Structure 1
């Protein structure tokens, strides 16, 4: 998987070029632009296309509360894994006027290929076209068309089914990824329990990323009604329309009664387990601050889980984080892959230390420090020679406190401090 995002003068991002891989990580100070880059990736992967075949940018930006990030000199370029490019520039023409800009190896947009497909087929046999469309819709998990009226013309069939077929065509050929954004506000979902219908009915105005996540969670918990979360030492289960957690205690607790780390993590893991079982669909997972409310050792267990569940098949994972523990553990997952690559006969021994499903291929990994307001503030922190996150950067992220402590030691010893 190779995707590239170039952003100039958008919200907190002054100038950034980011290459997305199978696993992509953003770390940096609060307000530096990590979530901005992650949300842009989510918007552009979704590929929202309006009825005229244009990319609807304003609607997408509003969905993630970034409509006010647009500046007169904003420019955004995106090239997806299919080689299709999207360019967003002049804000005066952002609404319905941003054609997808395909690369030479991309696709023509709007729907020329689709229209040609319909026209060419219709000249041969209308029933054959209907059967062909039916087959494609079935493969896409969409209900088949009604064949009762054999007198329908190809035009009426096209008008009736155009939206479904176009969606299927785009998902397969242009925007193949189903993208899921898991927001940092996810702990809210554990607290609302049965009140969700009230929030929806009263149009409370929750962030779209949160309401979308909550809707998926409430679907997922009906299917994943038992889930063992070993790195937290808990089991999630659903009983009598309640989300319950079993710990070492003798009695279950409502999820809203548990520790904050359990509340922020469990709904996310239920959703990921549910989606990871949909093997026929390629998913793109974007997770904000997975480490929320978790002890460092639990953060490590969570990263094992995320890599295992979110990189199966052609799936990919993007995270934003503030945690140096996350980065240190990712280096472990990268190094495990390298050890086995160098010594295939030692794979079983490595798997005893690091779960096999969590190894990360360094060629499929990217990590960026994001401080978007600064000149050259967004840059890769992966050492190209080792394929690991730079230890100098890890020291810089984790070592600020140590530096201050050393200054206090000097002051205590009566030494001059610069």
Structure 2
């Protein structure tokens, strides 16, 4: 299992009491603002990107073992300042040194004050991923008429804009959004996105903040999940110029090798092709609930799970402070359990009923889900489950319960007035 260990890094102080945070196929981080949810997600994104780059041969591991290279990757997410800046001649710093480590499918990474220690492992089970980090400020890409003309300072936003440009060109006429039956339409002549409702059409940059937030999230997720699945006519995402050159050079080297038989050459080229083919989609999403009504939060969460389920190797990592996101995950887990029982009992006539509650494609196996809560002290707490369902004993539900208690107190005060 993939794991990460983080301590004394930015808002993450004590970290997880068992040290290693298990990362399952679906991982959720909940907590208050500024507690470190996004910090953890950004570190995970960084290590998974480094793992992919080393495995594919983009860089040797020695490159990332240099502290400057690691800082550069952290700066992509604006978190490099959490590392101590200076050390004395003996490598000692005046600040508390972070404890950071990652155990991946293909590499293990350990942070030390002077460099990273990276150990490569057998790559038999490693699926080359398409990784996207979808930041909370994504609505900026919808709120202005021409985001390409603006100098963006956020690297994740720049990357997301690039994928958004690719995604909208793959819309065939219209694309149905998961909210309010709205359609999304792309005008290639004007290079603009439009929302199409019942009897009206409006430019996305004039739309509500909820749609401005959800359209980039949904459109990029839809596009990348289908690219990895190979559902578009363009098949999988084409290689970059550098990737293409390295692939051709490697093929030429195989073909020139006189010690290889034709069968071995075919096998070597097949293995090489797999090395350059993305077969998994890792979707890392900040606050999918942003600017959305509770029912719409459920709708977008159902869509994220649908595209997560599209390919076997996909992963979904979410940060949230919405109880509605957590409640939908509980429904999705329960739905998966009910689907299994119905299928085992041969009661197919009941499938349509449950499909109307939680679609089969949005159901989630409880074994693939883990939820962590980060408190205001920088401690990471793993939520328990009850009969496979996420526990309702968490910060988000406690706040709802506290609201009920306060309301009862107001009623008591009102009774005294009478």
SS in 2 for 1:99: strand
After superposition, the CA RMSD in angstroms is 2.2
State whether residues 46 and 178 of structure 1, in contact with CA within 8 Å, keep that contact through their aligned partners in structure 2.
no
Cα distance in 2 for partners of 1:230, 1:32 equals 30
Report if the CA contact (8 A) 1:22-1:311 is conserved.
no
Q: Greater relative contact order: 1 or 2 (C-alpha under 8 angstroms, separation 6 or more)?
A: 2
Partners in 2 of 1:59 and 1:402 — Cα distance?
47
CA distance in structure 2 between the aligned counterparts of 1:370 and 1:175, rounded to whole angstroms? 29
Q: How many residue pairs end up in the alignment?
A: 333
Q: CA deviation at 1:78?
A: 0.7
Structure 2 match to 1:296: 294
Q: Which residue of structure 2 aligns with residue 64 of structure 1?
A: 77
Aligned to 2:23: 20
CA distance in 2, matches of 1:85, 1:52: 11
Q: Out of 97, 101, 112, which is 1:89 matched to?
A: 112
Residue 406 and residue 335 in structure 1: after superposition, are their counterparts in 2 closer, same or farther (change >3 A)? same
Tell me how far apart the structure 1 counterparts of residues 118 and 161 of structure 2 sit (CA, whole Å): 31
Unpaired runs of 5+ residues, structure 2, are 85-95, 230-277
Deviations 1:76-126, CA, capped at 9 Å, x for gaps: 1111134x2111131xx1xxx323134xxx25xxxxxxxxxxxxxxxxxxx
- Residue equivalent to 1:147: none
Moved more, 42-51 or 24-33: 42-51
Secondary structure at the counterpart of residue 413 of structure 1: helix
- Structure 1 runs (4+) greater than 4 angstroms displaced: 48-52, 172-175
> Does residue 253 of the first structure (1) align with residue 222 of the second (2)?
no
* 8 A contact 2:134–2:156 mirrored in 1: yes
Distance in structure 1 (CA, Å) of the matches to 2:289 and 2:156: 18
CA distance in 1, matches of 2:347, 2:70: 50
1:44 paired residue among 24, 47, 52: 47
Report the counterpart of residue 387 of structure 2 in structure 1: 386
Q: Distance in 2 between matches of 1:352 and 1:336?
A: 11
Q: Secondary structure at the match of 2:195?
A: strand
**Deviations along 1:187-229, whole A, 9 cap, x unmatched?**
0001233241x32xxxx35111111111110121111252111
Of 324, 330, 353, which residue of structure 1 is paired with 2:357?
Answer: 353
Asked if structure 2 preserves the Cα contact closer than 8 Å seen for 1:366 and 1:382, the reply is: no
Match of 1:114 in 2: none
Q: Which residue of the partner structure matches residue 150 of structure 1?
A: none
Structure 2 equivalent of residue 129 of structure 1: none
State the distance in 1 between where 2:78 and 2:222 align: 28
Ranges in structure 1 where 5+ consecutive residues have no aligned partner: 108-169
Asked if the contact 1:27–1:322 (Cα under 8 Å) also holds between the matched residues in 2, the reply is: yes
Hey, what does 2:327 align to over in structure 1?
328
The alignment's TM-score, normalised by the length of structure 1, stands at 0.75
